[in-house]
A = this chain, B = another copy of it.
Amino acid sequence: MPNGSRIRVGIVGYGVIGKRVAGAVARQADMVVAGVADVLTDWRMRAAARAGHTLFGAAQEHAVAMREAGLPVAGDLEALLGETDVVVDCTPKRVAARNVEIYRRRGTRFILQGGEKHAATGHSFVAEANYASAVGREATRVVSCNTTSVVRTLGALKRVGLLRSARGTLLRRATDPWESHLGGIMNTLVPEEDIPSHQGPDAQTVDPDLDVVTVAIKVPETIGHLHSWVVRLARPASREEVLAAFRTSSRIAFVEARDGLPAPNAIKEMTGDLGRPHGDLYEVALWSDTLKVEGEELFYNYMVDNQAIVIPETVDAIRALSGRERDAAASIARTDAALGITGDLV
């Protein structure tokens, strides 16, 4: 793609992640949304159009159905790819696998989301950890919300030589708000049957050196995930050293229970007050006042907004694949500025 022009980004799948990626891309000075492709014909597509996005059918038949539903449609997926430098596939788990063949055939660089397997692209991405290795690649996979938070936080501890091993209990929200009328769990808890859960090995696809094991439990709420960690430190450290380590990441933000933010619902109210779209929390919101160091053990909890945390990573991944920006810090700074990420929340 020619230097100087904007990176043209196609979004395939306009769901929880796709619509946020589209919104975030639209706010980057060096990018433009080429269009969004989907299979739906209901209010969600009308909302996409109202948000200013050009609509495409995921296949020809969907373009036809959209047109019949009165939606302004510009064509199908192939048409979208014709105007796209980097495509971000945000389709539901495992649907993307089929699209990959199309992207490969057309030579369009592509990004998958964390529901797909590492092998689908051979590269798994978290900006602060391995941006450089994605520069100019054909494809990468932005890892899942939980894994992104793991790599950000443990990566921060590792950078300053504090990390020995980490064991995390992950309380996973049962379903997303938009579809909470369709399913979810009620008045119970559901431990995942696989111990350890997949997030540890998944984090290792980004950084194989991480000694991390997780156990996951589904909980009856829709707001986001909550992680509780026990970390063995590589050496004795003060509380302040640990906090300073986390501060090296602009995408870990401290919240304080005693500042009126003791729980995810309050944190989401705050991000709503900040005027962020959908009240999105892009950062790991880590409770700094309740964090505790005991000897060589470190304990802390944080919240993960599963709908939003991968959005800045995806924007960086677009820039990396495009080859326009080779420097991780520079890309992160641009993304952060465009999304209002400052390291602090309020």
Contacts and interface: CB of A to CB of B under 8 A. Distances in A.
Nearest to A181: B263
Given A44-B260, A273-B47, A301-B217, A226 B189 contact: yes
B193 A186 contact: no
Q: Which bracket fits the contact residues of A?
A: 35 or more
A3 interface: no
B187 A228 contact: no
- Main SS at interface, chain A: mixed
A279 to B, nearest CB: 7
Interface stretch (A79-87, A96-104, A170-178, A327-335): A170-178
A130 interface: no
B177 A181 contact: no
Contact of A270 (B47, B184, B186, B257): B47
A213 B299 contact: yes
Interface of A: 19, 40, 42-44, 46-48, 50-51, 167, 169, 171, 174-175, 177-191, 193-196, 213, 215, 217, 219-223, 226, 228, 230, 257-266, 268-270, 272-275, 277-279, 287, 289-292, 294, 297, 299-301, 345-346
